[in-house]
A and B are shown apart, each in its own frame.
Chain A
């Protein structure tokens, strides 16, 4: 094949033949990127993606066709590219990049790593692997019409984790279980419910009324009412939700009456909750059935998904989806579990109907299936054009890195339309590493505020080390002079510690924990700050980091950047839209940095 060298310098063009690069993710950006790489002259490419192809990918992931649905993205992407460019040498992995097989040695093989990912956990992990292997990384993302590309090089630029990202939104358990006030609360509840009934049960995803709600502390005289209500509920309490559901044979009407009548009546007995709030209204299947009017189902114009169903419509959808899920579960055999997936019609119908019924009960305006899907699936709109633009930019940054011109690399933001300065693209000079970064600093250290008497070893491991600090398999040692091992990544070694509290190991205010992740070649020193004054449902706080707040603007953009950014795309899942008029929002450079697209 004639390779068009064109505007590349010859030495650069030659080096493309020999250098090996890794593409992490073979989705929207990944497909475009693979094409651009081979056509720019890259010969040795490895690509990894754990996902399989879905119909909703086909509007942009052009290496896939309808016949490929269900197959490995990485594998099909490789085959499609080879069809067009047989001379390329491509290795595909249908796997998670967080698998320990892909260790520092693996990363060292590459001259360049390019992320085309859709989630923060994997981005954090690849960031650490590239720091450990000292390989340059190009990070990118798109969301609707917006996109960005940046370059990360150990010691020279900020790493992916130098700027704290706003915490992913979570909701207090009591809000979900007792006092939802926004549609998203009901949607989260419905997703939990799905797992409780059909999927993997998770103690953190309870859906029944929470009697321990501190806001609901009862007066003694109401004890009678409570007792009688909980008697009705008695058999449900003793067995798990799933076992109970199973014992009814997943009878949709029994489930309905338990979830939307009995549980709600039970909530009503916690009357302190409803002093200031509007109390929920229980629903009764038979009553609804009797007064159901046939005209409620009149289909208007437009897409079916975009219509809001009436209450009885939701009831029928609920019944129908429970029946479908029940047979799916039966087909899979004993002890089978379903996994919730926004693109599985029955699972989505279930969440749509259950969430809407709960919204109605709690006097909220109901939502269409289309909107529920957006919120439940954290769907970020994605189109071919933005991915094409971003993948084009990635390769150009890559060429600069390979020619040793790191100083000319930029973070580039793509706007929805030319900004007030008539710029569609906003390039910014790369920032140097942050000295206080808990990942790329020479001796990373953080202070965590928690209650040593209430924090278990398991929640230290899962919530703090894994979820918050992005470790995959942490080992933890207490710096108590004896080197007590608190958590070991070897299976079975420290499991007995899991349910114990930190204080059981002598950990107290001022204790220091050394946490290592062997795979990521990463050590983090944790200073424990004991406190008894955390807000309800808050397990811990990282000191010096205001959760949910954007970091202060700084940075040195090449131009004064005062564009109004359309990051509030109408389709963007919005979790708190109550009465907030969309005011003119100007984003600082750093805030924009946190606008991480998620299309892979």
Chain B
């Protein structure tokens, strides 16, 4: 309705005043042992939220939620279709068990309305967009006229996170056949610790059908991840259409295993509706053999198909064309240029490339640097901020464009070095955050700390976040989700929640993560058991989801 919302802010204050009397028994979950989650028979307290919100208080009331819960919106961004579609999605999730026979006309529900206040009408999704929200839940009773559920956020993307949190507070009560919200009244103020919370998918080693990518995006929103790093192409296959160079997708595995530009736009839009940015990657020059299927000129020679031929202008024309076409699809300000694992020996052994190196007075290593920097210039000219894998930093840090975001993967200690030199950094240490490493159990993922070894506050600022990587050599549509989940969720809490609440002293982590993995399976996401040592293994025997 209007932007500043003095009315809602007033309600806010009133609620907090009332809260002091209502919340006598409330406590901070991260400071005290929570109520034990007992899926046996007695305790109905399902107040488990993943990732743990920044600040919150709760009480001990149980409120019923009307299956015809209505949405009331306020603020410049309230009318957004992003909000209303999300509301419809979450209604389906929350009222999964309520069939039409149980609509309970005549029943007096505590919670019948959801107020969503979004102050800003700006729906641009970018790195660092305000993702904070406030969620308040209280009963409408004699003491308080301000009952109901209220989500207040500066942007629609904050409101989406609020909806996700709300959905996790609700649970179906099998006794009364109603949806209940436990431990009310709730007052939650939440925001992410890091602005970049990523998941890499790799559609080159195995093609992922669009339907599967959408399932992955949907599941990311449940864990409040916000960047889908789409490693679209690599040496094995080139599934994406590039209109300027239409022969490139001849490098796809088959004519069916391809994405049109419209398919890619559809994925970007689907992700945006869920508050998720898509960062595309073109990994040059070392992971690009498949490009030569359509344009053999980019291969130095038939026996040297990688790295791309540094000596030909055509190589860079092609990169320019690809990036220009991709710029129309991917609005996110970051673009990944790869740059890892460049084995340039065969440049030296290919006569015309060797000649070119001599002519330009370059070693192969110099040429690697030349290649990466030239690709960076192309990306920057398209108003992209380049992201590069850490080898580029490790090899020629001082030459990199200062805007470069260094993407760590080889091991620990890289981000400290990068930020010390003023670069921004994304943490993906393969020892802990490579999901294709099946021998990394959930707790190793969880206790990995992106800021490890960085004490200076201004340097900490430069770590924009982290990313778990689902490399697809042995992952396809059949096992993708169960390799990602629940371990990606462990990283998601690390990236979202306060550092203290994700410390090893917090004994609530395992039961909450087990609860979250069951929540994922209840939403149709194939999340594997938490406590198996090896990832994506089947449950070891019969038993409850909540203890496996």
User: Do A and B make up one complex?
Assistant: no
Interface residues of A (CB under 8 A from B): none
Interface residues of B (CB under 8 A from A): none
